[in-house]
Amino acid sequence: MEQTKNPFGIVVMAHLQTKATNQNLESRLQWKLRIVRILFAKGYKREQIIGLFRFIDWVMMLPEELANNFKTELRREEEAGIMRYVTSIERLAKQ
């Protein structure tokens, strides 16, 4: 499912990984980060990323400490330029 560009595949992956990590919330944190990275890598539009993330964040709930770790890791990756939103013009320029 990671290869799909279909947003529904991402939603299904989030749901399945939520169920699979019921007893291992640290693993859920890692999967949540991985799925968010996939959203950025697929080149979705900003609105699509926000909409999908809202669902993923709701489905893949984390306890407060791990939620804080999630936010910290996202911030770190954004600052490092790993997860910045790339506009369609920038994608075209890369091609």
| Between 32 and 92, residue with greater pLDDT | 32
pTM of the model as a whole: 0.78
Report residue 18: phi and psi, to 5°: -65, -45
pLDDT digits (tens, 9 = 90+) for 52-90: 999 999 999 999 999 999 999 888 887 776 665 555 544
Instruction: Give the residue numbers spanning the domain of 88.
Output: 7-94
Q: Is residue 2 part of a domain?
A: no
- Is 1 a domain residue? no
63 is a domain residue: yes
Q: What's the total number of domains in the chain?
A: 1
Upper half-sphere CA count for residue 35 (Cβ side, 13 Å): 30
**Alpha-carbon dihedral angle through residues 80, 49, 28, 23, given to the nearest 10 degrees:** 170
Q: End-to-end distance of the chain based on CA atoms, in angstroms?
A: 24
Q: Say if 19 falls within a structural domain.
A: yes
